[in-house]
Amino acid sequence: MAVSFDRARLAPLKDTVAIVGVGETDYAKDYRGAGGQAVGKGEARYDSYTLASRALKRALDDAGLRKDDIDGLCTGGTLSGERASEQWGLNPRWSGGGDAAQCIIEATLAINAGLCTTVALVYGNAQRSMDTAYGGARVTGGAITSYFYYAPWGMTSQGALYALFFQRHKLLYGTTEEQLGAVAVAFRKHACLNPNAVMQTPITIQDYLDARYIAEPLRLYDYCLINDGGVAIIVRRADMTRDLKQRPIMVSGFGWSEENVDATQLRPRLKSFYHGAHHDVAAQAYPMAGVTPKDVDVFATYDSFSVHLLASLEGFGFCKEGEAGAFVQGGRIEIGGDLPCNTSGGMLSESYMQSWNHQPELVRQLRGGLGHRQVQGAEVAQYVHDVAGKCKSLIYTRGA
Amino acid sequence: MATARPVRAMDPYAEQFWAFTLDRELRLQQCSACGKFRWPPGPTCDRCLSDDFGWSPLSGMAKVLSWTTFRRGYFPEYPPPHTVLALELAEGPLFISYPVDIEPTDLREGMTLELRWTDATDKFGEYNLPVFGPLRG
């Protein structure tokens, strides 16, 4: 792809917008449900708006802002922007939606354009109690995507697509299943330090290897959870963040690039592990923030599957291509290691909020005071979002 | 009675692709302007945006890129274990299928497989499904 982004126009956007408030629902408590029993699939107890509303209220309280301070709204998950606005009594001057990274980038652009000053980004998804399917006949909503095009051959589910991805990585580089297991073990260890994480029981590498395959070579612990929850993030023009309750966390760099050519054929997935998009995003985000991978103190990646971390580490230059299996060994990606990754437990072990729960965790790490879960001296945090080659990244730093 | 398969994604272009399989012909659209093969079927060449195309027969030769074995069942038509292949066709496009006459443990990266056919039916009617097996020599 031609290099078409303009570094000179991106640079002045550094630190112009900050995250001033975050809110999440009680993932663990809601998962366990009444009487300590896990909520069964299809046992609807509330809807996405219930969860999103709780998260929004908590984020406003966290920021020390009132509902009437909000003049922009982004919605994610299964929320409709119109219904969400109506529910919360908002007439936004600007609205958007999508995944968390997309919403933060778009809100930053809207704020810089002068359309609004204070944007609520809100996600809600009652996917467990509503029994959402991510594989099989019920995902065939009619759109032609790689998700289900190959159903006649028995191919389905995002997990199987990432199983093909990891099998290819194994074949090319000799990466082992035991090496991949270090990712699930590390994220679970982090979850056990996070009282709001759904999964609270430590696992060993042997537990990982003993667990059943789902789509071989991926096992149970390589897959994310399916649970209910809501997340809200309040972003605000940086010069309006003084005198709020929390230290502002600056949006210092970002990038966006998608590899969709031959996506259904799985060409970018299997031929280059989406590194084309990773390199393009890295070329935008790091120079904008004025940092390099070496400066990143705490890292988070979209982790619907453990494999995502290998792809991100290689694609963003934390290690060479083919070396991520070795890189994640020996505690390097754990709290206390060189590059703590997905410190909340991520979507594998904290909560499957489809990119949304990673942002509050990075914000909390930069604010400090997380006790045993705190990454000491964290000043630069990075989130990498890569869902089937739709890649974005955000770099956050501590504000004054 | 042909073997039931999970339902195909159907549109006017896919319909033509599957119609050829009734005669056990594997054909893909090829752009008349620039020659690029395309898969899945669609209205336009993604390289040059021409909408002129023909349906070119393929050699049926493919190399193995990757595979996965389902240990959890998703479709009643495919009880586990069921192995799916990612292939690179000799003509260029990548193609998803499943292996026949070979055990998953005998699959190798870069191994050449050739086209076979198996019967199939869904709500759109009967057709043949292109699958891949070892060279017969």
Q: Can you give the residue ranges of every domain in chain A?
A: 7-131+227-240
Q: Per the domain annotation, does B7 fall within a domain?
A: no
Query: To which H or E segment does residue A48 belong?
Result: helix A48-63
> A306-344, pLDDT tens digit by residue?
999 999 999 999 999 999 999 999 999 999 999 999 999
Mutate to test the interface with A, among B11, B67, B96 (most CBs of A within 10 A): B96
What is the mean predicted confidence (pLDDT) over B90-95?
97
Domain span at B29: 12-134
> For residue A35, what pLDDT is reported?
62
Which residue of chain B has the CA closest to A169? Answer: B66
A352 an active-site residue? yes
Q: Which of A27, A223, A352, A383 is catalytic?
A: A352
- A264 near B CB under 8 A: yes
User: Taking Cα atoms as reference points, which of A170, A149, B95, B22 lies closest to residue B114?
Assistant: B95
Domain with residues A7-131+227-240, CATH architecture:
3-Layer(aba) Sandwich (3.40)
Residue reference for tokens 């619907």: A304
| Shortest alpha-carbon distance between residue A142 and chain B (Å) | 7
pLDDT tens track of chain A, all 400 residues? 555 789 999 999 999 999 999 999 999 998 887 566 666 777 667 789 999 999 999 999 999 999 999 999 999 988 999 999 999 999 999 999 999 999 999 999 999 999 999 999 999 998 887 777 777 766 544 444 555 689 999 999 999 999 999 999 999 999 999 999 999 999 999 999 999 999 999 999 999 999 999 999 999 999 999 999 999 999 999 999 998 999 999 999 999 999 999 999 999 999 999 999 999 999 999 999 999 999 999 999 999 999 999 999 999 999 999 999 999 999 999 999 999 999 999 999 999 999 999 999 999 999 999 999 999 999 999 999 999 999 999 999 998 7
Which residue of chain B has the CA closest to A135? Answer: B74
Which residue of chain A has the CA closest to B121? Answer: A152
Which among A137, A212, A270 is the nearest to B71, CB-wise? A212
Q: Per the domain annotation, does B67 fall within a domain?
A: yes
**Is residue A400 exposed (0-12), middle (13-18) or buried (19+ Cβ within 10 Å)?**
exposed
- A377 near B CB under 8 A: no
> For residue A138, what pLDDT is reported?
62
Q: Per the domain annotation, does B80 fall within a domain?
A: yes
Distance of CA A308 to the CA centre of its chain: 11
- With a CB cutoff of 8 Å and minimum separation 6, the contacts of B35 are none
Whether omega for the bond prior to residue B40 falls within 30 degrees of 0, making it cis, is yes
Q: Per the domain annotation, does B101 fall within a domain?
A: yes
> For residue A223, what pLDDT is reported?
98
Q: Per the domain annotation, does B107 fall within a domain?
A: yes
Q: Per the domain annotation, does B5 fall within a domain?
A: no
A49 an active-site residue? no
Overall domain count for chain B: 1
A:B CB pairs within 8 Å:
111
Chain B residues with beta carbon closer than 8 angstroms to that of A144: 9, 11, 40
Q: Per the domain annotation, does B3 fall within a domain?
A: no
- ipTM exceeding the 0.90 mark: yes
Chain A residues with beta carbon closer than 8 angstroms to that of B5: 151-154
Q: What is this structure's pTM? A: 0.95
Q: Per the domain annotation, does B1 fall within a domain?
A: no
- The A residues from 163 to 182 touching B (CB cutoff 8 Å) are 163-165, 167-168, 171-172
Torsion on CA atoms A177, A179, A185, A187, rounded to nearest 10: -110
